[in-house]
Structure 1
Amino acid sequence: MTDTGNLISRNAVFARDRFRAGLRINPSGNLTVVGCVDPRVDPSHVLGLSLGEAAVIRNVGGRITPATLRTMGMLGKVGQAHQDSRVPGDWNLVILHHTDCGMTDLAAFPEMLAEYFEIAPVELDTKSVSDPFGSVRADVDVVKQDIPGGPGFLVSGLVYDVSSGLVETVVPATPLG
């Protein structure tokens, strides 16, 4: 078991060897990643991200739910409040799903899933719960419908294979708006 004493020790090594003072609140990579809470699929590790490079939102399945959209809206306001720390260039939203996701186990609980997505149970087929390739396409579509983009805002969908460690592009970076 990993206990808090072990975590404090690891943190001391981090603070000594890898901590970077002066990072800004806006990601240096103009990047937000939405990914799953599965411990095998930490987006920062899987995508080789550096500290401060991306905002990472993790939830069950890495799904774009109404709660995720609200979180992104709040993050957008924080980013606007710190506009001086924003790096010029396109803003990228990456949706990262993965194979062998526990979300597929939840297909047996349609009422729970419907509540999670804030939809009626009869609409669950549109969420492709058991197919990471279909689900990432569905979530990119939700973003394209629900987030006002405009020039300089991109969304893409990736699937990580937990067997090979490789990421596949399912939806290439597409402009919003």
Structure 2
Amino acid sequence: MSQSDQTSSPFDDVFSANAEYAANFSLNGLQPVAKRGLALVTCMDSRIEPLDMLGLGPGDAKILRNAGARVTDDTLRTLVLAVYLLGVERVLILPHTKCKMASVENDDVVHDLIEEQYGVDTRSLEFKTDNDQLGALKHDLERIRHHPLLPAGLPVTGAIYDVDTGRVEPTGL
């Protein structure tokens, strides 16, 4: 065995798991459109299982994930593509309880924490932290509702996912 064959990678576990997944792959031929017409904007938090928690399966929805489930310029760009080219007819924004991005007062707190702990100055980035989670959600809903490139009347709503109970509670915003 050569030296390179003996070297392990930090990604061996995921590539090995993929080999098993591919051996039983059953999604060949799945179309790229959202079969149920849904786009879901949610957080990258690993406690969130977007398909299972909403009774969805592969191909049912477009899932957009980022820190804090925020509607960023990139989220809007992706929604425009999803609405016009990928069958999206409605949008659900779904932040969650106990979110790190909603637990700090502002971006400065996160910038300071990263710089203090790791010596990295992240001030060139906007993290979109906001400890008023419902206020941030309302702002993000309005960004979609009033975006000039998205259809007027596109159904958009918000809800909060509870990471302790698995329940999704509509906000009525």
Normalising by the residue count of structure 2, what TM-score does the alignment of the two structures yield? 0.72
What does residue 149 of structure 1 align with?
Answer: 151
Is the 1:137–1:171 contact (alpha carbons within 8 Å) kept by the matching residues of 2? no
Structure with greater Cα Rg: 2
Aligned partner (choices 14, 19, 30) of residue 12 of structure 1? 19
Q: Secondary structure at the match of 1:57?
A: strand
Give matches, 1:12-51, under 5 Å: 12-17=19-24, 19-51=26-58
**Deviation readout 1:148-169 (Å, 9 max, x if unpaired):** 3246x31111100111111101
Query: Match for 1:142: what amino acid?
Result: R
- Residue 8 of structure 1 and its aligned partner are, at CA, apart by 2.4
Across the aligned residues of Structure 1 and Structure 2, the Cα RMSD in angstroms comes to: 2.9
Mind listing any 5+ residue stretches in structure 1 that lack a counterpart?
80-85, 118-126, 173-177
- Residue 69 of structure 1 and its aligned partner are, at CA, apart by 1.0
Q: Secondary structure at the match of 1:35?
A: strand
Is the 2:145–2:152 contact (alpha carbons within 8 Å) kept by the matching residues of 1? no
- Residue 10 of structure 1 and its aligned partner are, at CA, apart by 2.1
- Residue 3 of structure 1 and its aligned partner are, at CA, apart by 4.5
Distance in 2 of aligned mates of 1:18 and 1:154: 34
Normalising by the residue count of structure 1, what TM-score does the alignment of the two structures yield? 0.70
Distance in 2 of aligned mates of 1:93 and 1:33: 6
What does residue 92 of structure 2 align with?
Answer: 94
**Deviation readout 1:128-175 (Å, 9 max, x if unpaired):** x21333332221122111153246x31111100111111101137xxx
Give matches, 1:31-110, under 5 Å: 31-76=38-83, 78-79=85-86, 86=87, 91-110=89-108
Query: Match for 1:167: what amino acid?
Result: V
Structure 1 residues 34, 97: closer, same or farther in 2, change over 3 A? same
Is the 1:136–1:159 contact (alpha carbons within 8 Å) kept by the matching residues of 2? no
Whose helix fraction is larger, Structure 1's or Structure 2's? 1
Identity of aligned residues (%): 29
Q: Secondary structure at the match of 1:32?
A: strand
- Residue 106 of structure 1 and its aligned partner are, at CA, apart by 4.6
Q: Secondary structure at the match of 2:19?
A: helix
Query: Match for 1:95: what amino acid?
Result: I
Distance in 2 of aligned mates of 1:31 and 1:108: 31
- Residue 38 of structure 1 and its aligned partner are, at CA, apart by 1.1
What does residue 115 of structure 1 align with?
Answer: 126
Paired residues in the alignment total 151
Whose strand fraction is larger, Structure 1's or Structure 2's? 1
Give matches, 1:130-145, under 5 Å: 130-145=131-146
